[in-house]
Amino acid sequence: MRPGSSSSSTWSSSSRSPSLPERWASSLLVGGPARYWLWAAGTAIEIGTPLVSRRVIQAAPIHASHIPERMGLFIIIVLGESVLAVVVGVSDVSLGLRSGLVAGAAFTVAACVWWLYFELAGHEGHGPAPEPV
């Protein structure tokens, strides 16, 4: 099937209102009751879109083999955000023994979450985990 063509069994990004972000941003330009009406319209569209497109969403194929990969990518993003939060948190204080230990502990917790996922859960469905070297 060509990109851009529609099918009842394939979900495409065209089912989402393309003007929704602009509608939310346009509420910044108006004040008073008009802003609230724009918020109501945006909320109604966000809530209504999945309800209206339920048949298309249910017909979309789910590829279970992609779920571990997507979860792994999510864990990498969480790890990066955790490292960033540690760096930003430590940048505002004088780096002493106490703040260094807290920053190290926070990084260790984030790294352990990464390790737990990729060592234990990340290999489900892909055969046994490789033996450590």
Q: In the structure, what pLDDT confidence band is assigned to residue 131 with cuts at 50, 70 and 90?
A: low
Taking the C-alpha atoms of residue 13 and residue 121, their distance in angstroms, rounded to an integer, is 31
How far is it, in rounded angstroms, from Cα 18 to Cα 44? 15
pLDDT of 10 over the 50 cut: no
Which domain, by its residues, includes 17? 13-59
3-class SS at 131?
A: coil
Q: For residue 2, what pLDDT band results from cuts at 50, 70 and 90?
A: very low
pLDDT at 101 over 50: yes
- Domain assignment present for residue 33? The answer is yes
Total domains present in the chain: 2
Least confident span in 2-11, 43-52, 61-70, 72-81: 2-11
Q: Within this chain, do residues 74 and 49 fall inside the same structural domain, yes or no?
A: no
**What pLDDT score does 4 carry?**
45
Structure confidence at residue 5 (pLDDT): 45
Q: Are residues 44 and 69 in the same domain?
A: no
pLDDT of residue 129: 53
User: What is the chain's length?
Assistant: 133
Residues 48 and 85 in one domain: no
- In three-state form (DSSP H/G/I as H, E/B as E, the rest C), the secondary structure along 4-63 is CCCECCECCHHHCCCCHHHHHHHCCCCCCHHHHHHHHHHHHHHHHHHHHCHHHHHHCCCC
The whole-number pLDDT of residue 124 equals: 52
* Residues 28 and 77 occupy one common structural domain: no
pLDDT-derived band of residue 12, with 50, 70 and 90 as boundaries? Answer: very low
Q: What is the pLDDT of residue 69?
A: 81
Phi, psi (rounded to 5 degrees) for 103? -65, -40
Considering the domain architecture, whether residues 50 and 73 belong to the same structural domain is answered as no
5 within some domain: no
Place 128 in a pLDDT band, splitting at 50, 70 and 90.
low
Q: How many CA atoms within 13 Å lie on the side-chain side of 105?
A: 6
The mean pLDDT value for 99-121 works out to 81
Clarify whether residues 41 and 81 are in a common domain.
Answer: no
Rg (CA), the chain: 23
Phi, psi of 6, deg, nearest 5: -105, 150
